[in-house]
Amino acid sequence: MLTRSSMSLSAHCYKSIFRVNPTLVRCSGPFTTEATSKKDNGKPENEETPEVAASEQEIKKLNETIAEFKDKYQRSLAETENVRSRLRKEIEDAKLFGIQAFCKDLITVADVMKMAVTSIPENELENETNKVWKSFYEGVCLTDKELHKVFDRHGLKLLEPEQGDKFDPYDHEALFEVPIDTLEPGSVAHVERIGYKLKGRTLRPAQVGVSRKAS
């Protein structure tokens, strides 16, 4: 049994050691410190608390929600752009359809102008005494030139195949066959009437004669 003097001496020694280095004190019994007792009885320092686990789970759910909304947003943008493209095409098609009939009427006028130009005999144009024909010819040529300028401004282009061009069923209309060996079979041998394209689309195919073997 410890006497009072022994207990006083032990307590004095413990205090002296604790002042020098508290971490060296690992005593049991009545001299155990409160900090050491709490550390021994507490949970490990690296153990995850329920609050931290719940927060991490919530963050994971939020990230998944953000990714989902981002995907939906990108899909909506793509769909919106597709709708805009379709609307632009429909508007262009509507404009094109609206002027097709008018352009066909103008093409008929251009055909008449061309026939008027080619119908004037060349000898009449060379005759200096007959200025009426020459003035008429120059007036028709000027009108035809201005008419084709209007065509160009509105995307109406001439479709003039040349002899030897490959026959294209989209741009050409075959009226007859021409037996000829100097051209590849299925080529344009003769142009009966020029065609027209409106903004890249064939409005009126060129009427042509197609070559075939003579034998």
Write out pLDDT tens, residues 8-40.
545 555 555 545 455 544 444 444 444 444 444
CA angle (206, 209, 212) in 5-degree steps: 140
Pairing of strands 156-159, 195-198: antiparallel
Tens-digit pLDDT profile for residues 87-131: 888 888 777 777 888 888 899 999 998 888 888 877 777 777 777
Residue 189: count other Cβ atoms within 10 Å of its Cβ: 22
Q: What is the pLDDT of residue 48?
A: 64
Residues of the domain holding 192: 156-215
Highest-pLDDT range among 6-15, 42-51, 147-156? 147-156
In a domain, 108, yes or no: no
Per 3-state DSSP, the chain is made up of helix, strand and coil in percentages (nearest 5) of: 60, 15, 25
Tens-digit pLDDT profile for residues 75-90: 999 999 999 988 888 8
In a domain, 210, yes or no: yes
Residues forming a β-bridge with 36: none
SS3 state at 1: coil
In a domain, 197, yes or no: yes
Average pLDDT estimate for 149-167: 92
Q: What CATH number did the domain enclosing 183 receive?
A: 2.30.22.10
Alpha helices (runs of H) in 21-130, residue ranges in sequence order: 34-41, 50-119, 122-126
